[in-house]
């Protein structure tokens, strides 16, 4: 799938380059949800070390990877951890096109173009994941703190799932990357013999949850409260701790 994506993105780059508009283009790749490692229609979706998967309110189901490529970006070659929601893309791309998002009226999204392009702090400080009255689950993030109520399918989808099988391709993935259609087109369009992919990019985009085993979380009765700044894998439920109680009241006061 990723190989096919490389091919298709390469063809898009080629078409934009041939049309002479690549230098005024923004290309965004992201996802609408995490993988589905368990249950009906499960697949090789791999969210570890994040908890949960598609259909859950855990980070493995809602936190999506992505990247932006554009000559219009002032800040390049960085890994961003700025808080952003899918609804932010409309005002962000509208702003990048030189228009004022305020002219669109009241929106759920926030203009993130300046933060992403220049490195400013994200203006977004909260995300409502969902309020599901049918399955009785909900989640809200305010600053670093994430409050989760309810359990997904009686807790069956709550763990941190390891890969469902398979093995790493025998081919060198870095070599496949530089030989991809997208890389070839970029080299030709930019007249560069070699494209640089610093190891620091991958390192900064990698989550480290420490030497924690997958089964270190018991889905007990909610609520759950996590400090995602120090615990992005939702391992340590602080709801019953003194710090957690204080944080819980902090979140509730700002609802």
Dump pLDDT digits (tens) for 102-138: 999 999 999 999 999 999 999 999 999 999 999 889 9
60 near 217, Cβ under 8 Å?
A: no
Neighbours of 185 (CB within 10 A): 21
In the predicted structure, residue 84 carries a pLDDT above the cut 60: yes
Q: How far apart are CA 182 and CA 6, in angstroms?
A: 6
- More confident site: 79 or 246: 79
> What residues are paired with 180 via a beta bridge?
none
What was the pLDDT predicted at 236? 87
Predicted confidence at residue 222, as pLDDT, reads 74
pLDDT tens digit sequence for 29-71: 888 888 887 777 777 777 888 998 888 999 999 998 888 999 9
Check residues 82 and 255 and name the one with the higher pLDDT: 82
pLDDT, tens digit, 9 for 90 and up, residues 203-240: 888 887 865 655 545 666 678 999 999 899 998 888 88
Is the predicted pLDDT of residue 3 greater than 60, yes or no?
A: yes
Give pTM, 2 decimals: 0.86
**Mean pLDDT score of the chain:** 84
Instruction: Tell me if 224 sits within 8 A of 147, measured CB to CB.
Output: yes
d(CA 9, CA 24): 16
The stretch 76-82 carries a mean pLDDT of: 87
DSSP letter, residue 153: G
């Amino acid at each position: 799938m990723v190989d096919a994506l490389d091919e298709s993105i390469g063809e898009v780059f080629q078409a934009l380059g041939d049309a002479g508009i690549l230098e005024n283009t923004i290309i965004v790749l992201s996802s609408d949800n995490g993988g589905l490692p368990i249950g009906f229609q499960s697949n090789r979706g791999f969210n570890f070390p994040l908890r949960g998967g598609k259909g859950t309110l855990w980070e493995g189901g809602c936190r999506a990877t992505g990247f932006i490529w554009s000559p219009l970006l002032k800040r390049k070659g960085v890994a961003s951890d700025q808080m952003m929601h899918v609804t932010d893309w409309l005002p962000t791309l509208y702003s990048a096109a030189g228009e004022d998002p305020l002219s669109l009226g009241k929106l759920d999204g926030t203009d993130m173009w300046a933060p992403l392009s220049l490195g400013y702090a994200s203006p977004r400080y909260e995300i409502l994941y969902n309020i599901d009255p049918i399955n009785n689950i909900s989640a809200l993030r305010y600053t670093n703190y994430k409050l989760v109520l309810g359990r997904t399918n009686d807790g069956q989808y709550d763990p941190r799932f390891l890969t469902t099988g398979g093995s790493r391709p025998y081919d060198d993935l870095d070599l496949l990357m530089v030989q991809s259609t997208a890389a070839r087109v970029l080299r030709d369009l930019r007249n560069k013999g070699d494209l640089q992919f610093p190891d620091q990019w991958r390192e900064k985009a990698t989550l480290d949850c420490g030497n924690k085993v997958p089964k270190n979380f018991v889905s007990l009765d909610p609520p759950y409260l996590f400090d995602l700044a120090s615990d992005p894998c939702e391992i340590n439920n602080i709801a019953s701790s003194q710090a957690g109680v204080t944080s819980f009241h902090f979140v509730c006061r700002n609802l």
